[in-house]
Amino acid sequence: MAERYYIGSLEIVIGAPDDLQFNLWENRFTVPVLDVTHSVNVDFELTDEIPGLSGEGFSIQNATSYDTPEGELRVYRIPDECAYSIYDREKDRVTVFVVRDKYAVFKYGFRPWYYMHLEELLLLNDALILHSAGIVVRGGAIAFSAPSGTGKTTQANLWHRYRDGVEDLNGDKNLLQRLPDGTWRMCGFPIYGSSELCEQTAVPIRAIVIVRRGQSDVAVTLDTVEKIRLIYGEINLFTGSREYVERALDLVIDFVDKTDVVGLSCTMEETAVAALEEYLDGTV
């Protein structure tokens, strides 16, 4: 198989043998919504085993990353050392090696996007994955961001309930894409967790709203340092590389300099919508 997918302004060309069957993303992501600024190849292959590795790696969540002459190598344990991948940055190519025996056991639950360095590919294309619930209101995107369980999805749902013309973007993760002219767009992202809300689009950004539970509803302007800290804390970033960490931080700094980042102390009532709406209408 060979398919082309588009996330923000990144084109991802997927290749896989016929005997490696998996579902990737919905067909809507085979259509670009922005001019393509970069293209990368991601090839899947079957292999018999994980290679023996020595030396110190960088571990996070379910993978360990190693620097090798061939590129960054990651060994994944989802669910049990089932794949490894090599990202050759010079050739714009990721190769994912799936262990044949492991794949035979869990192939119907195989989620290929976990293995393809996706957050890294997007980062190098000036894009950040923000943990957030995104909606579109009057042609502008609003993303509610906060640690899980704080109420960002509830705030998005309140806008649906009490305001007309509200559309969903993604209920769990949204893409912040910097364009070549330096402006930013919020874009659809094909991974949506349990929300099942996912659209392929690119929309001007009205605001990022940092949600905090409160006894009343108050929207406030945050200072620059707090904006950077809160946005950086909610982006997806898997890397032990200082270069990538610095690149992500530079993008966050540029983003908060050009985007309204609002603190919303809120209840779970319509008054939360009114408080944010009043703030936004008075500032943008």
pLDDT classification of 85: cutoffs 50, 70, 90: very high
What's the CA gap between 35 and 33, in Å, rounded?
Answer: 7
| Residue type, position 239, single letter | T
Spatial separation of the C-alpha atoms in residues 20 and 51, rounded to whole Å = 20
pLDDT tens track for 11-63: 999 999 988 888 889 899 999 999 999 999 999 999 998 887 777 788 877 78
* pLDDT tens, position by position, 209-223: 999 999 999 999 999
How does DSSP classify residue 130?
Answer: E
Backbone angles phi, psi at 234, to 5 degrees: -115, 10
In 3D, which of 169, 161, 163, 159 has the Cα closest to residue 133? Answer: 169
What is the pTM (predicted TM-score) of this model? 0.94
Q: How confident is the model over 126-175, as pLDDT tens digits?
A: 999 999 999 999 999 999 998 888 889 999 999 999 999 999 999 999 99
- Helix (H), strand (E) at residue 224: helix 224-233
Place of tokens 């090798």: 68
82, two tokens: 């089932």
Q: What's the CA gap between 255 and 177, in Å, rounded?
A: 9
User: Hey, what domains does the chain have and what are their CATH numbers?
Assistant: 2-123 (no CATH), 127-283 (3.90.228.20)
Beta strands across the sheet bearing 10-15? 2-7, 10-15, 38-47, 93-99, 83-88, 71-76, 63-68, 58-60
Contact in structure between 13 and 66 (CB atoms under 8 Å): no
